[in-house]
């Protein structure tokens, strides 16, 4: 920027009937205080302050503003002339246009993305008599995928047995021979897994393409049938022809029965209704359940047994019907699932969940592998931002003592998982998760990429249409050391991540959530009754605080929160945690509905 310049300021006034003039040299741009400068000038020139102070301050301010504007105009003119002389005017103009279009919404040209008709088609068919046929086709595809998955597991198991025998025969050999054989085993295992993963991906792509084509044809036929009905003889003939086409599509399908869902007798469960708020109270439903967290993602029975035909008919779980009907609605259900810090590694609970997703084809959203790959791309950007912010704090006196999770990690990941268009009731899960800069890869190729380590309390969201009882999975990053720490408090990054998940769900109109109460999916020896009570109280109070907060901006919204206890907790522990919930939310009325292990309580 050009250097400052000196300008002369003059002020005319009269003193004792004599005209006088005040002159002073001022730097432009001027960074001093105008009133203080006027006071100094009046003192130097012996001008009475009570006579001309306000006039001098006004004249001085107007003079500085005008001279500053002229100085800036000269700088701008010099820059333009310099650009013309150097022949870079086009480059400058293009740079200005680029900056304006990328940073100012007023100058940005929005590109309208064509709407995908598939969600609307599915929404109409799932609320029509074609629902049974549609779910039956999905079930048939699921059985086909289960056969491929079983064959893949058997092939890997047989290879492990073969490798074990070969290693036993090599015990008398040298270390060099053993290492060579182990490297060969790793290569063979990787090659076999890649082969089956490729076959599974190809089968899913074929099923997704056939499913979408079938739904489009069925929707077109039903629509034409409706429009031609009542149009005379031609309409009746068209209707008959369309019916025969639908019958042909259903000819290879077996009749379907809706089975009765029988909950295990040993399942411990209790329900609560609470009322929160100061003046205007809002009601919420709470449930305390002891169950396996994966049971919300898949049928607890073997798929072949679940679909065993009775008298030539297939049986379908009614919960799957409810999940399918509510897919494009505001009645979505979210599940919080603990995960490790590595996105590109699949093991433990994450591996079990990924296997559940691969048991059937997701016809509406990308596969779990593609979604994890997209999350990894966003996580790389977040990692770079965090490193930049840490670098800016080095050598400075920063009073910010918060964790690295201060960065808005949830906005980058959750918003790309949930549709930003929340204006319509059936758009909560619309939108594409794919990133144009990333190409779909299988798990095997995902594992070979450079991993991005997340921080405890971070979370990412995946969307699914092929799970048993949930639509949205919130993967909360944690580690065993922090989870088992008895001193975990509300300011810990994991607890902050839990609250951020609830806020994200609320912004996307998702008000049904399943939370692992102890922040873990299984009981461990270190988890005593006192430990469980302390952890349950922490989560109860955190959720209660969020519900109270949400009543200030969603007073008429009802939440359904299921607190999930891991299998293996004792009956006495369940009862004590149930009493703790009652105390936390101040139970006033208790009414048992079914036996000793299940009930409903009204909480005020």
Is the predicted pLDDT of residue 567 greater than 60, yes or no? yes
Would you state the pLDDT for residue 441?
A: 33
Would you state the pLDDT for residue 468?
A: 87
**Strand bridging mode 256-258 / 314-316:** parallel
**323 exposure class (CB count in 10 Å sphere: 0-12, 13-18, 19+):** buried
356, containing H or E segment: helix 349-358
Closest CA to 204 of 416, 351, 360, 433: 360
Radius of gyration of the chain (CA): 34
Say which residues have a Cβ less than 8 Å from residue 404's Cβ, sequence separation at least 6: 386, 390, 455
* SS3 state of residue 321: helix
Task: Give the whole-angstrom CA distance, residue 532 versus residue 573.
Answer: 8
* Chain centre to alpha carbon of residue 456: 16
Task: Give the whole-angstrom CA distance, residue 67 versus residue 114.
Answer: 53
Task: Give the whole-angstrom CA distance, residue 146 versus residue 491.
Answer: 43
Residue 382, number of CB atoms within 10 A of its CB = 21
Token representation of residue 310: 């009775």
Q: What is the pLDDT of residues 104-157, one digit of tens each?
A: 666 666 666 567 788 888 988 888 888 888 888 888 888 888 899 889 989 989
305, containing H or E segment: helix 303-306
Contact, 534 vs 489, CB < 8 A?
no
Q: Which residue has the higher pLDDT, 244 or 42?
A: 42
Would you state the pLDDT for residue 175?
A: 80
Would you state the pLDDT for residue 209?
A: 92
Contact, 477 vs 456, CB < 8 A?
yes
Would you state the pLDDT for residue 227?
A: 54
Is the predicted pLDDT of residue 472 greater than 90, yes or no? yes
Residue with tokens 């599915």: 122
How many residues in total does the chain contain? 604
Q: What is the pLDDT of residues 402-453, one digit of tens each?
A: 344 433 334 333 333 333 333 333 333 333 333 322 223 333 333 434 557 8
Say which residues have a Cβ less than 8 Å from residue 11's Cβ, sequence separation at least 6: 21, 22, 23, 41, 56, 59, 60
Q: What is the pLDDT of residues 55-86, one digit of tens each?
A: 888 888 888 889 889 888 888 888 777 766 76
Quote the DSSP letter at residue 3.
Answer: P
Residue 379, number of CB atoms within 10 A of its CB = 22
Q: What is the pLDDT of residues 248-261, one digit of tens each?
A: 445 555 555 555 55
């Amino acid at each position: 920027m050009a250097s400052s310049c000196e300008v002369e300021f003059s002020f005319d006034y009269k003193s004792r009937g004599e005209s006088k003039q005040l002159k002073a040299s001022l730097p432009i741009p001027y960074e001093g205080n105008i009133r203080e400068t006027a006071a100094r000038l009046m003192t130097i020139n012996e001008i009475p302050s009570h006579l001309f102070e306000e006039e001098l301050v006004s004249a001085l301010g107007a003079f500085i503003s005008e001279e500053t504007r002229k100085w800036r105009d000269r700088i701008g003119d010099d820059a333009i002339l310099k650009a013309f002389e150097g022949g870079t005017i086009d480059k400058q103009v293009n740079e200005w246009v680029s900056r304006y279009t990328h940073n100012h919404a007023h100058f940005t040209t929005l590109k309208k993305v064509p709407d995908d008709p598939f969600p609307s088609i599915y929404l109409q068919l799932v609320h029509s008599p074609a629902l049974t046929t549609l779910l039956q086709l999905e079930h048939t595809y699921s059985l086909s995928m289960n056969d491929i998955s079983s064959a893949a597991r058997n092939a890997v198991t047989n290879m492990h047995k073969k490798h074990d025998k070969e290693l036993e025969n090599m015990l008398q050999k040298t270390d060099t021979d053993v290492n060579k054989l182990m490297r060969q085993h790793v290569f063979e295992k990787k090659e076999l897994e890649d082969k089956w993963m490729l076959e599974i991906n190809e089968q899913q792509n074929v099923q997704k393409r056939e499913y979408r084509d079938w739904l489009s044809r069925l929707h077109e036929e039903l629509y034409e049938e409706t429009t031609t009905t009542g149009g005379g003889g031609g309409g009746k003939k068209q209707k008959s022809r369309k019916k025969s086409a639908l019958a042909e599509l259903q000819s290879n399908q077996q009749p379907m029965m809706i089975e009765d869902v029988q909950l295990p007798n040993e399942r411990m469960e209790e329900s609560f209704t609470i009322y929160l708020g100061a003046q205007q109270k809002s009601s919420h439903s709470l449930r305390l359940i002891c169950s396996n967290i994966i049971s919300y993602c898949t049928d607890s029975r073997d798929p072949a047994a679940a679909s065993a035909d009775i008298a030539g008919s297939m049986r379908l779980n009614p919960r799957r019907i409810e999940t399918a009907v509510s897919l494009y609605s505001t009645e979505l259900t979210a599940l919080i699932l603990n995960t490790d810090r590595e996105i590109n590694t699949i093991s433990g609970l994450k591996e079990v969940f990924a296997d559940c997703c691969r048991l059937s084809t997701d016809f509406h959203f990308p596969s779990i592998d593609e979604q994890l790959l997209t999350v990894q791309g966003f996580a790389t950007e977040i990692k770079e931002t965090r490193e930049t912010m840490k670098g800016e704090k080095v050598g400075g006196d920063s009073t910010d003592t918060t964790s690295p999770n201060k960065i808005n990690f949830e906005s980058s990941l959750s918003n790309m998982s949930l549709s930003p268009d929340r204006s319509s009731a059936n758009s909560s899960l619309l939108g594409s998760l794919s990133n144009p800069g990333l190409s779909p890869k299988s798990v095997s190729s995902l594992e070979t990429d450079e991993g991005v380590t997340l921080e405890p309390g971070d979370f990412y969201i995946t969307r699914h249409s092929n799970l048993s009882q949930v639509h949205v999975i919130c993967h909360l990053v944690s580690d065993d050391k922090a989870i088992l720490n008895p001193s975990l408090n509300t300011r810990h990054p994991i607890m902050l991540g839990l609250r951020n998940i609830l806020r994200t769900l609320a912004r996307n109109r998702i008000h049904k959530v399943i939370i692992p109460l102890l922040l873990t999916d299984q009981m461990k020896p270190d988890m005593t009754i006192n430990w469980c009570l302390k952890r349950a109280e922490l989560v109860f109070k955190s959720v209660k605080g969020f519900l109270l907060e949400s009543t200030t901006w969603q007073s008429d919204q009802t939440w359904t929160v299921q607190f999930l206890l891991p299998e293996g907790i004792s009956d006495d522990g369940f009862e004590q945690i149930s009493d703790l919930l009652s105390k936390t939310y101040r139970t006033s009325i208790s009414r048992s509905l079914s036996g000793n292990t299940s009930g409903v309580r009204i909480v005020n």
